[in-house]
Each structure stands twice: as structure tokens, then as C-alpha cells.
Structure 1
């Protein structure tokens, strides 16, 4: 289903949310690419973008859910973008490009793991109604992924010393 409704376009990132298979993975990949671009310009830019996307994403997801009758439609992927951006914030920005890319790949993998498995608090957050619930589970998954990245980074630093 495609729509000219701007809120539907935001919720699905235009055609990206309709890509198969696994639209959530495509949304996460869009999050990685845009997040790295923002953070390389300024970490503060990514922090600001996260806040904006959370608020706009809640509204867009809410409207999409209401209009389509779907609780958490797989094509709604604005939540993946915001969630994927969170673990990117904890990656040190002063790493060389190959090392930085490796940590970004880990952030991507951990976010997808937590987003797909919906462990503990992630599943609880998903039960929140409307656009808030659509966004909340991915934000919690992003926090878990960020904790995972930090844990691996500090373990790696301990091994490398």
C-alpha cells in the first residue's frame, strides 16, 4: 500500500518501508547510513535528530496505525531509524574508519537482534498503545544495543591493553 499522505510517507520512509524482505532491516540500514552521516557532521546533530524523529515518528506511526487499522505494521520503519541511531551515539568518533565501521556493524547487528527478539522490557514497551508503542520498543532495543556496544568496546579495550 502506498499513500500520498505525508504522515504515511514519514512512517514508512516512503518506499523503503515497502521493500521486501524484512522492511525493518532496510529501515535500520537507512538509520545506519543517515546516523553515521549526522554524527560525522556533529554528534549533537544526531542527538537533535533523534529527538525530532521520536516526536515526528510517534505522530506518523499513530496516524498510520489509525488509518490502516494495523497496530504495528511492518512497513512502519521510522521507529527503526530512531532506535538504530541510539547505539551509534556510544561509538567513539575518533576511531579510524575501518575500526569505526566495525563498531557500526556491531551496533547494527545488536539493534536488529534486540528488535527482532523483543526480550524483556522491549516486549513490554511494544504493548504501549498507538504510535508511542510503535516507537518505544525500538527505542528500548536501541538502548540495549548501545549497552551491548559499550560492553564489547570496554571488553575490547581491556583485551587490547
Structure 2
């Protein structure tokens, strides 16, 4: 008998701190498109961090320990769900979005463009993002492909934002 992967709920979310973070404070429970909801959850978090003086370069630096934390929380939660890269795990989207937001102006237009462009690369997964997603496993793999999608987004935003 094969066991089916667990579908997370609020009880699962609150059962372990790793699940709470990996599921993006609950944003990963929203369907459809939990990855988009996780990316959106990064926006108020970035505002809060900005109010605390953590914006720009400091936000980019903060993304590094958040990435390392993400390797652990995504690994723990993926194992508990029975799916290493469950769509409900959105900490990777949150950290990647924070990284993108660190390098764009804090305006509604720039943040909307950042969200749309990041989601584009995260969903379409051009090479090497798709390759990383398929070949690098565990919590590190969950985190890595989204950070590369964030870097692609930043390259496109560098070209596009001056015209918006």
C-alpha cells in the first residue's frame, strides 16, 4: 500500500515552527497558486522589515541567513508532507521575493513588476532553473531554484524598470 502525500492544514502548520515558516505563515495553504500567495506574503514582510530599517542592501544580506534557515525548514516540512518540494512550501518564494525587493525601488509599480517577473521565472523555469529544480533535491534544492529565478527576475527588471 502506497501512502499518499499529506495535504497541509492549519493543524499541520502549527504543529512545528519549521512548518509555520515553510508554509509561509499560512500563505502556502491558500489555493489555487500557493506559490503566488507565498510571493505576495513577502510584500508586507518587506514593508515591516523596511520600517525596522532593514531594506536595500541590508535586506539582501538578510536573505542569506533566511536562505540557510529555508534549507532546514523546507527539508523538515517536505519530509513531513511526503513531498520534498510540495507546492504548499512557499518559504523559498518568500526569501526569493525579499531578495528581488532588496534591489528594486520601494514603489508600488516596481514591487508589482518584481512580483510579476519573479512569478514568471518561477513558473516557466527556463534553463538552468528547470534543471536545478529536477536535479538538486532536499531543502537546498527547494531554495536554490527560486533564488536563481530571483536573479533572472533582477536581470530583467534592471532592463524594464527604467521604462515603467
Give the shorter-chain TM-score range.
0.7 to 0.9
Aligned to 1:15: 26
TM value normalised by structure 1? 0.85
> How many Å separate the matches in 2 of 1:37 and 1:15?
17
Aligned to 1:83: 96
Query: Which secondary structure does the structure 2 equivalent of 1:72 belong to?
Result: coil
> How many Å separate the matches in 2 of 1:124 and 1:33?
31
Aligned to 2:4: none
* Cα RMSD (Å): 1.8
The answer as to 2:155 corresponding to 1:141 is no
The question of whether the paired residues in 1 share the 8 Å contact of 2:57 and 2:103 is answered with: no
Which ranges of 4 or more aligned residues in structure 1 deviate by more than 3 Å? none
Per-residue CA deviation, residues 41-71 of structure 1 (Å, 9 max, x unaligned), is 3324412331121011110111112222202
TM value normalised by structure 2? 0.83
Kindly state the Cα deviation for residue 86 of structure 1 after the two structures are TM-superposed: 2.0
Unpaired stretches in structure 2, ≥5 consecutive residues: 1-7
Query: Which secondary structure does the structure 2 equivalent of 1:20 belong to?
Result: coil
> How many Å separate the matches in 2 of 1:134 and 1:55?
11
Aligned to 2:83: 70
> How many Å separate the matches in 2 of 1:110 and 1:120?
16
Unpaired stretches in structure 1, ≥5 consecutive residues: 94-99
> How many Å separate the matches in 1 of 2:105 and 2:18?
34
Instruction: Work out the number of aligned pairs and report it.
Output: 150
